[in-house]
Homo-oligomer: A and B are copies of this chain.
Amino acid sequence: MSVSVQKQDFNISAEMDALTAGDRDIGAVVSFTGLVREMTSAGAITEMALEHYPGMTERALADIETAACARWPLQGVRIIHRYGPLAPGDRIVLVLTASRHRTAAFEAASFLMDYLKTKAPFWKKEAGPAGSQWVDARDVDDAQAARWEAPPDAS
């Protein structure tokens, strides 16, 4: 269980090796990597700046990890979220889940991303030739997160 909020980039292979090292009972590792997309509804962007709430961010991500571990049999979880100025194509976020079987790893990674999108205090500001603007929250993200409110077996 580990959370990092950092400016610098991350290496997925190295993070995965660290997560699985020494545990030969892991059968499945799922990763999610979020990247800065160049084309947005407002046109092509040249920069994406990420602001966050130091202190609360780490706490919120740790809470999300705890919730995932309570719900699925996970042998490892890792969340890395970057902040500061990023460019199109840059990595923003990494979520890793390790479990005996693939279903738990897939579901937990999906859950972590849905919760992170709606509960972790980050704000994106896109900049392009036409100026800069804060990204609006998407209703679909709230809907995605809400589907985990029902018991796991109800889906």
Contacts and interface: CB of A to CB of B under 8 A. Distances in A.
Interface string A3-27: 0000000011110100010001111
B12 A39 contact: no
| Contact residues of A: prevailing secondary structure | mixed
A144 interface: yes
Contacts of A31: 12, 29-31, 33
A52 interface: no
A32 B102 contact: yes
Interface stretch (A55-63, A105-113, A128-136): A105-113
Contacts of A38: 24-25
A100 interface: yes
Interface in A81-105: 88-89, 100, 102-103, 105
A103 B117 CA distance: 13
21 contacts: A11-B13, A12-B16, A13-B13, A20-B35, A20-B89, A24-B36, A24-B88, A25-B37, A25-B38, A25-B39, A26-B35, A28-B34, A30-B31, A30-B32, A30-B33, A31-B33, A32-B102, A103-B144, A106-B110, A106-B113, A155-B155
